Copies of this chain bind each other. A is one copy, B any other.
Amino acid sequence: MADDLTQTIERRGEAAQDWSAGAAYIDGAVVPLRDAKIPITDWGYRRSDVTYDVVSVYFGAFFRLDDHLRRFRASMEKLRLKPRESNAEIAGILTDLVRRTGLREAYVAMDCLRGRPPAGAPYHPAYSRNYLICFAMPWVWVFTPEQQERGIHAIIAATPRIPAESVDPTAKNFHWGDLTRANFEAHEQGAETAILLDLAGFVTEGPGFNVFAVTNGVVVSPPSGALKGVTRRSVLELCEDLGVPFEVRPIPRAEIEDADEIFFSTTAGGVMPVSRLGSRILGNGRPGPISAKLRETYWEKRRAGWHATPIDYD
């Protein structure tokens, strides 16, 4: 009886180790996501001195895993962050985390933090020990499938994007103050998100996504002032495959305001059409034909294993 009870408790303990809500790696330790925490004195939090990347898992496979790892490494180098793990080790960690969760659709993140002010060394970030955090959790739609079907409602924010001279947007970072402010602007105007311009009035990006304008059948994406999105690059590949002409050049405010179609791209959503910009209804208030075609093709190709790194769940 006592043994039975012990076994029941042990089984309960096992069951309590529930990975399905998310699994995390923190500087060498693997823990359930709900227990994954960082010290409040870490400069990764306290100075937002951190870079990160996010890769998606859909249909049981990573999408462009190597591209994400390469960009993550480049971001770390730009910020002079150096964790002890190699890219091959990070790939192994991410795979292990997804396997633990058993999730076929997962949001998978990797962060490299500056670390704490070092004891007995100058109070300067050059002396901190940097470290890695990774986690896998159930897929998050930044915009729901319903929003994507009817098209997202966006505004052009009054808040300008932080200039690249101050904080390099190509090193993915958590400096979201301008993006969050823009998100509140959108919320006040009954919209769902915002497009930010730079100080000269050209399109940059939005909270978590790259921006595309379509005019007279040509897809246009800004060359700078924004993250070099992996999904953005995938969109340009799709355009090539589909024979849709595209240009990478600055987009002035007037051009996006008058565009025939607008759509966004992001790891956590793929291709996401816009159907309203401020008070203007685009097309017939539904995703435009090129945006819809790109979205459809993106998911068809992903289902078929495009740029996929399958995960062995057994």
Contact = CB atoms under 8 A, between A and B. Distances in A.
A173 B174 CA distance: 12
A189 interface: no
A53 interface: no
Interface in A110-136: 111, 114, 117, 122-126, 133, 135
Contact of A187 (B124, B161, B180, B184): B124
A163 B177 CA distance: 12
Contacts of A41: 33, 36, 135, 137
Given A37-B39, A125-B180, A125-B183, A44 B47 contact: no
Contacts of A44: 45
B184 A48 contact: no
A37 B36 CA distance: 9
Q: Which of A40, A179, A187 gathers the greatest number of chain B CB atoms within 10 Å?
A: A40
Given A40-B38, A175-B177, A166 B165 contact: no
Interface string A32-74: 0110111111001111110000000000000000000000000
Contacts of A114: 180
For chain A, what secondary structure do more than half of its interface residues adopt (helix, strand, loop), or is it mixed?
A: loop
A266 interface: no
Contact of A159 (B165, B181, B199): B165
B174 A167 contact: no
Contacts of A79: 180
A142 interface: yes
Contact of A49 (B122, B141, B166, B180): B180
A176 B24 CA distance: 26
Interface of A: 24, 26, 33-34, 36-41, 44-49, 79-80, 111, 114, 117, 122-126, 133, 135, 137, 140-143, 159-163, 165-168, 173-181, 183-184, 187, 192, 199
